[in-house]
Amino acid sequence: MTLITGIQKYSIHDGDGIRTTVFFKGCPLNCIWCHNPETQSYQRELLSDKEACINCGKCKAACPFDSCQSCGTCVDVCPLNLREIAGEEYTIPNLLKELKKDEMFYEESGGGVTLSGGEVLAQDMDYIETLMMRLSRIGIPANIDTCGYVPYENIQRILPFTDTFLYDVKLVNQEKHKKYIGKDNQLILENLIRLSQDGGKLHIRIPVIKEVNGSKEDLQEIIDFLTNNNILVQRIHLLPYHNTGSGKYEKLGKQYQGKAFTPPSPEEMENFKKLFINAGFHNTKIGG
């Protein structure tokens, strides 16, 4: 079952031009700072604003189960609209119908569609490949936003239909990667090398968190990896850490683990940008 948590229109941070970004539900990684925690699980989930709840009891009275099954019954009866379900099924025709609504904006701005997550390439690949094929057939450029922690076969299946890969590289150091992200990065780095060799158009996206990878040494390791492996990079995006998604954790009944994290200062970010430019990555930008 392939679930979608949201369709964001008029996005300008997920590739060139005006885009529509589709967020798929489910990810194999567990980044401590994840700002879309509702996309981590592959199952439907209930989000509820417990602080604003007036304890009227209508949700409990309406619930047909002894424990929450994320069925959505309580969403419909909440008088303050404090509940929502993350995860909705779309048929490919219905999703394409929604994506085509902004075709005029894609054409005028050089934009298109971006499939994101969660991790889009950890979904039902028959679904994703068919969707990408159909977008290509009707002339809508499509980007893939990926963490790279997927079988390379999944990448190969959609490579012919993908305009740009927005490829996340967080750390080269394996132990730090395990500590903050829950998995080692060997597969991620191997896939990046293969994708570059296979001609994928690559935008490398690096979330920069002062306490995780916000040092000259950590970023130099990424530069050395890209250089030593002849990774062909169209663009580097250095993304300063933000915690705008932290409020979602409480709604999901989870605890946000990134409270101590901070973004580098603007001056530090400019120095990091110079580090990449001096290494030959002249198309390096701060932000999406």
Q: Which amino acid is at 236?
A: I
Supply 263's token pair: 């973004």
Question: What average pLDDT score do residues 283-288 get?
Answer: 94
For residue 88, the 8-state DSSP code is B
Shared domain for 281 and 152, answered yes or no, is yes
Shared domain for 202 and 215, answered yes or no, is yes
pLDDT attached to residue 227: 98
Shared domain for 65 and 202, answered yes or no, is no
Indicate the number of domains in the chain: 2
139: left (phi over 0), alpha (psi -120 to 50) or beta: left
Shared domain for 235 and 199, answered yes or no, is yes
Question: What average pLDDT score do residues 85-109 get?
Answer: 97
Buried b / exposed e along 166-187 (16+ C-beta atoms within 10 A): bbbbbbbbeebbeebbebebeb
C-beta of residue 260 within 8 angstroms of C-beta of residue 55: no
E strand segments, the chain: 4-11, 19-24, 45-48, 83-86, 112-116, 142-146, 164-168, 202-208, 235-240, 284-286
pLDDT digits (tens, 9 = 90+) for 103-118: 999 999 999 999 999 9
Q: Which comes out higher in pLDDT, residue 118 or 244? A: 118
Supply 197's token pair: 């060799």
Q: Which residues make Cβ contacts (< 8 Å) with residue 171, sequence separation at least 6? A: 177, 180, 181, 185, 212, 213, 218, 221, 222
Q: Any idea what the CATH number is for the domain that residue 186 is in?
A: 3.20.20.70
Shared domain for 174 and 220, answered yes or no, is yes
pLDDT digits (tens, 9 = 90+) for 21-58: 999 999 999 999 999 999 999 999 999 999 999 999 99
Distance of alpha carbon 13 from alpha carbon 28, whole angstroms? 23
Domain that holds residue 66: 47-85
Shared domain for 76 and 178, answered yes or no, is no
Shared domain for 215 and 276, answered yes or no, is yes
Shared domain for 52 and 33, answered yes or no, is no
User: Of 29, 63, 85, which residue is a domain's last?
Assistant: 85
Question: What average pLDDT score do residues 46-71 get?
Answer: 93
pLDDT attached to residue 1: 80
Question: What average pLDDT score do residues 224-244 get?
Answer: 96
pLDDT attached to residue 288: 85
Shared domain for 76 and 93, answered yes or no, is no
Shared domain for 22 and 117, answered yes or no, is yes
Shared domain for 10 and 73, answered yes or no, is no
pTM: 0.95
Cβ neighbourhood burial of 274 (10 Å; 0-12, 13-18, 19+): exposed
pLDDT attached to residue 189: 98
276, pLDDT greater than 90: yes
**Strand-pair partners of 208:** 240
Shared domain for 75 and 142, answered yes or no, is no
Distance of alpha carbon 268 from alpha carbon 262, whole angstroms? 12
pLDDT attached to residue 248: 95
pLDDT digits (tens, 9 = 90+) for 122-175: 999 999 999 999 999 999 999 999 999 999 999 999 999 999 999 999 999 999
The confidence band for 245, taking pLDDT boundaries of 50, 70 and 90, is: confident
pLDDT digits (tens, 9 = 90+) for 162-216: 999 999 999 999 999 999 999 999 999 999 999 999 999 999 999 999 999 999 9
